[in-house]
Chain A
Amino acid sequence: MNSLLELKNIWAGYGNEPVLKDISIRVSRGTFLGIIGPNGAGKSTLLRVASRALPPSGGNVFFDGADLYSLNPKSAARHIAFVPQSITVNFSLTVWELVLMGRIPYLGRLESYKQKDFRIAEEALKLTDMLHLKDRDTNELSAGEKQRAIIAKALAQNPSLLFLDEPTSHLDIGHQVDILGLIKKMNQETGLTVISVFHDLNLASEYCDLLLLLHDSSVFRHGTPEDVLTYSNIEAVYKTVVVVKHNPITLKPFVFVMPK
């Protein structure tokens, strides 16, 4: 099976109204997939269903051929990591302690961290350029630093599939480029499969191999940024007029907003 992740006829939601209606997708190994769509289209829900956080009310999720929800939770966590928009910590927790938690899926309940775990945590911190801040309290970090710390924790899980939920919405442009650049690097150098929800169409266009445009609880388009980011698609889904050109350097589609 070439696809690492497959969603088959997924129906999901909270309470009575389904947020996702009959969604089927396949994601191949090594893909950087961006999920875009208007608010309420089901992006975050889709992410949660795919990452084993929300059992679907209908359909199945397959990870590397196996039913994701039948897997042992810890063994699933050894392959799948999730980076949320932010985390709140009510007490003082150092970056080092936070990142080490990424090793929990590899430890039995009574086991302590071993040398190997410390090594991997250090690697993750190096990759995210956070090693110099490892003893800092997470509550004292800037938004960008905090996000990098959370990514480091996810990387410490040594996943083959990484989910991110709007990873750059709190960040300024410089940090956005840093973080997405890092993820893209991991994707290209180690073959890490990445599925990320994007708010910003242009960032998604720039970094993703494939895009998934959600609309009205279903898949509207699934394809390359070229295929998906057309003015007609965007108008149909976002109900606003745009002009799509290309980034002068990278040649990726770029969406220009047309004020009313």
Chain B
Amino acid sequence: MTKNNLVIILLLIGFFASIFIGLSYGPADLSLTELFSHNNFDILRLRMMRVLLGIVAGAGLAAAGCILQAVLKNPLAEPYILGISSGSTLGAGLAIICGISSQVQPLIAFIGALIATMLVVYLARANGAISIHSLILLGVIIGTVLSGIATFLISISSSQALHGIIWWLLGNLQIYDIKLLMTVSILVLTSIAVGWIFSQDLNAISIGEEEAKHLGIDIETIKVILIIICSLITGAIVSACGIIGFVGLIIPHGIRLIVGNNHRIVIPAACLAGSIFIVICDLISRAIMPPVEIPIGVITAVIGGPLFIILLKKYQRIRQ
């Protein structure tokens, strides 16, 4: 147990350090004293919003990844698996093509995500129980169908709209709307807290649905609750940031390798690690090639990809 306490402390230190670094660096070359002076308050505020969104997105995606990997008993599960990525892409794509104002776009993306998930869950129900095999399969199928429609729409759109959609697909933490930021933050953080409350149930489910039933867990209700929570978290994040890949997949694995499988610790640790990861990736995306901002999905993929391969190799060795 003490090892886990140490890990949490290290993560907390990393968390605050990353916030500090994220605020200090950016395309505008300002020293700390300059940044905090009255003149540059607007830049500071912009960076604070981005860092906050980064924290929320990182924590949310990591938590949703943990929960889905446990519920679906599939180590390759990640937050977008239940059709969320394609549903929201279709929503956002439609919004961009129809020229809907940027204030309403996130809502359309969110609705798209939720509709897709509801469809997947509804179709996966059989005999009053939700089959997790069906969930994964349907997630892929519905995801492909919706992606196809979205791709078609993109192909007939103007090139300006195309930029917008590609930008959205690769994820970004650019945010102007403080109301959106607050709504997303509250929604995501509350949902994470609720998910964490079900840690015990998640622990039981991860050794098997039947096993969990025999330990007194009400499987079907819990599954529905947890899927709803993950959809809310991911849908909200996607509506504000577009699609940021890899976080929801590798952070849970990495954390489990270090702290074990008790979700009471895994979820908070994953949230901290996810936040650190995204805040640092966002920093890189802003500071590496000014004045251009590279979409954050590119950075998470470039760093996350190799990291995942390393983790996978380690995982394979353990399984031998």
Task: Verify B204–A92 contact, CB threshold 8 A.
Answer: no
Taking the closest CB of chain A, its distance from the CB of B74, in whole angstroms, is 8
If the complex has contacts A73-B217, A105-B215, are A91 and B200 also in contact, measured as CB distance less than 8 A?
no
A115 proximal to B (CB < 8 A)? no
B260 contacts across to A, CB distance below 8 A: 92, 94, 97
If the complex has contacts A90-B73, A91-B261, are A77 and B207 also in contact, measured as CB distance less than 8 A?
no
A116 proximal to B (CB < 8 A)? no
Task: Verify B208–A109 contact, CB threshold 8 A.
Answer: no
> Which chain A residue lies CB-closest to B221?
A73
Task: Verify B211–A104 contact, CB threshold 8 A.
Answer: no
Task: Verify A93–B210 contact, CB threshold 8 A.
Answer: no
Task: Verify B204–A87 contact, CB threshold 8 A.
Answer: no
User: Interface extent on A, as a size class?
Assistant: 35 or more
A residues 48-63 near B (Cβ < 8 Å) are 51-53
Task: Label chain A's interface by main secondary structure.
Answer: loop
If the complex has contacts A51-B214, A73-B217, A76-B216, are A90 and B200 also in contact, measured as CB distance less than 8 A?
no
Task: Verify B210–A77 contact, CB threshold 8 A.
Answer: no
Task: Verify A97–B214 contact, CB threshold 8 A.
Answer: no
Residue from B127, B208, B215, B256 in contact with A91 in the complex, judged by beta carbons closer than 8 Å: B256
B308 proximal to A (CB < 8 A)? no
B200 contacts across to A, CB distance below 8 A: 104, 107, 109-110
B73 contacts across to A, CB distance below 8 A: 90
A residues 91-147 near B (Cβ < 8 Å) are 91-94, 97-98, 101-102, 104-105, 107, 109-110, 112, 137, 139
If the complex has contacts A97-B260, A109-B198, are A84 and B211 also in contact, measured as CB distance less than 8 A?
yes
Task: Verify B318–A87 contact, CB threshold 8 A.
Answer: no
A20 proximal to B (CB < 8 A)? no
Task: Verify A109–B201 contact, CB threshold 8 A.
Answer: yes
Give A88 to B206 CA distance when docked, in angstroms: 9
B75 proximal to A (CB < 8 A)? yes
Task: Verify B211–A77 contact, CB threshold 8 A.
Answer: no
A87 contacts across to B, CB distance below 8 A: 207-208, 211
Task: Verify B204–A104 contact, CB threshold 8 A.
Answer: yes
Give A196 to B288 CA distance when docked, in angstroms: 65
If the complex has contacts A91-B261, A109-B197, A109-B198, are A98 and B207 also in contact, measured as CB distance less than 8 A?
yes
Task: Verify A73–B204 contact, CB threshold 8 A.
Answer: no
Taking the closest CB of chain A, its distance from the CB of B290, in whole angstroms, is 42
Taking the closest CB of chain B, its distance from the CB of A169, in whole angstroms, is 17
B264 contacts across to A, CB distance below 8 A: 112
Chain B 259-286 per-residue mask, 1 if CB under 8 angstroms from chain A, else 0 = 0111010000000000000000000000
B208 contacts across to A, CB distance below 8 A: 84, 87-88
Give A15 to B65 CA distance when docked, in angstroms: 33
Task: Verify B207–A93 contact, CB threshold 8 A.
Answer: yes
Give A76 to B218 CA distance when docked, in angstroms: 12
B197 contacts across to A, CB distance below 8 A: 109-110
Taking the closest CB of chain B, its distance from the CB of A110, in whole angstroms, is 7
Give A94 to B203 CA distance when docked, in angstroms: 13
Taking the closest CB of chain B, its distance from the CB of A112, in whole angstroms, is 8
Task: Verify A101–B203 contact, CB threshold 8 A.
Answer: yes
Interface centre among B74, B207, B210, B262 (most CB of A within 10 A): B207
Task: Verify A92–B216 contact, CB threshold 8 A.
Answer: no
Interface centre among A73, A80, A84, A88 (most CB of B within 10 A): A73
B127 contacts across to A, CB distance below 8 A: 14-15
> Which chain B residue lies CB-closest to A109?
B200
A89 proximal to B (CB < 8 A)? yes
Seed contacts A73-B216, A77-B216, A109-B200; 18 additional CB < 8 Å A-B pairs: A14-B127, A53-B214, A76-B216, A77-B214, A78-B216, A80-B214, A81-B214, A82-B210, A84-B210, A89-B207, A91-B206, A91-B261, A92-B260, A94-B260, A101-B204, A101-B215, A109-B197, A112-B264
A-B contact pairs, 21 of them (CB 8 A): A72-B216, A73-B216, A75-B216, A77-B216, A82-B211, A87-B207, A90-B75, A90-B206, A91-B75, A91-B261, A92-B260, A93-B207, A101-B207, A104-B203, A104-B216, A105-B216, A109-B198, A109-B201, A137-B318, A139-B319, A157-B215
Interface, chain B (partner A; CB < 8 A): 73-75, 127, 197-198, 200-201, 203-204, 206-208, 210-211, 213-218, 256, 260-262, 264, 318-319
Interface, chain A (partner B; CB < 8 A): 14-15, 51-53, 72-78, 80-82, 84, 87-94, 97-98, 101-102, 104-105, 107, 109-110, 112, 137, 139, 157
The 5 closest A-B pairs by CB, nearest first: A77-B216, A74-B216, A82-B214, A73-B216, A105-B216
